[in-house]
Structure 1
Amino acid sequence: MLVHGAGGGAWEWNVWRAVFAARGIDAVAPDLRPVAAGLPATGFGDYAAQVAEALQALPRPRAVVGASFGGLLAMACAGQADALVLVNPLPPAPWSSRMPAREWNDVVAWGRDARLASTRRALPDSDEATALFALRRWRDESGAVLRTARQGIEVAAPACPVLCIASGQDEDVPAAVTMELAEAWNATLLRLPTASHVGPLLGRGAALVAEQAAAWLSAR
């Protein structure tokens, strides 16, 4: 199962799903949904429950792959998985204290305020078509879930195999934090020196990264 990041959607995984399908890996990518009361009322536990429910519905062996905020959700549900892939994940406690300080409104208007210039800055290693594709699909997000993530979620070290992917040009989650997490959890580490935060999913090299992740999963 592929879990997208904050402000994104299942569309972020289009390249990965195609690569996984070519390798015979059936990958589902659900969209995280706000609660009925709306984004301001949506909390971390609401999204985690959605991921857990979708994961439980899959046959074993099953893996959960999470990017950015989706990586933290994947960690929270790792006990139900047989393998875990974390792509520039928002880190759990205590590494969360190393994250840059940010302030979040109750609704983070990434969709409403999306502009092509800011999308290009967020996707420096993507092509123009991908930037336009993403521009039309960013969505607003719950500030509460981002505040909770920044405060730190306690998770146990996964018992299953873990692959951590760290982008060298990540301005949201420092590569050093992902590398420390990988070392502490005895995880396999894949370093991408020139990739941005979302580059492993939406950059020009996304297919190659997905191929490496698929090969790692297949070997397990």
Structure 2
Amino acid sequence: MEPGERVKCSPARCDWWIEFGGERDTVHDNDRIRDELWSVIYGIWDYIKNSGKFDADTMTLEWVGSLPGKREYRRLLGDYVLTQHDVLAQTPFEDRIAFGGWSIDLHPPQGMYAKEDGAKQRFADGIYHLPYRSIYIPALGTSQECHACHTITEGSRESQSRFVCKNPACGWIGNADVNAARTQLYRYNSAAGRAVTGRGGPAPLGPVKRQAPHGGTTRTTPQRVAA
């Protein structure tokens, strides 16, 4: 897509759509994604100011973000996986906890380097249900399981506030609620890893790499100032 097709200018302002990182790891390659976004942003700004195709003599670039916004690099795996059919057909759920109204918004993984349109959207005919079963994390046993070694040993939960792992190879000691919260986080990451990679088994504690995650999106709006 040519630069002019990405840049939309009016007498008062210019807008452009910039997205990159869909074919990279948006967690571990964050700095490389940011640098590529910056290089393109300033290249487009140079094009606006110096190509002669825009009335930009009195325009200034006021601000450029330094933290790329991430899209869809985590996924929750509950007892039910909400599908595109559920959204478009507005499937009713008795355990709904919220309503969605935004469209299914598909962006090409190549971002600004894609030849296709920047977004393909699928709209429901109104709002749709978001079921509780799709987002909850099973908490059964998290107060007895040690978050450090992921074993359950009798008597580890010594009191309402104190957890002492009885596994001889571990022996972690700390606040019981902190331990339970960390165990739930581990289960969340494990479920997200299975949902994203499809390989099964426990995922490492920490960010999950999506096979084709969407990268950062930066929308920059130069404003016209007095000459």
Give the TM-score taking structure 2 as reference length.
0.24
Hey, which of these two has a bigger chunk of strand by percent?
2
Hey, which of these two has a bigger chunk of helix by percent?
1
Give the TM-score taking structure 1 as reference length.
0.25
Structure number with bigger Rg:
2
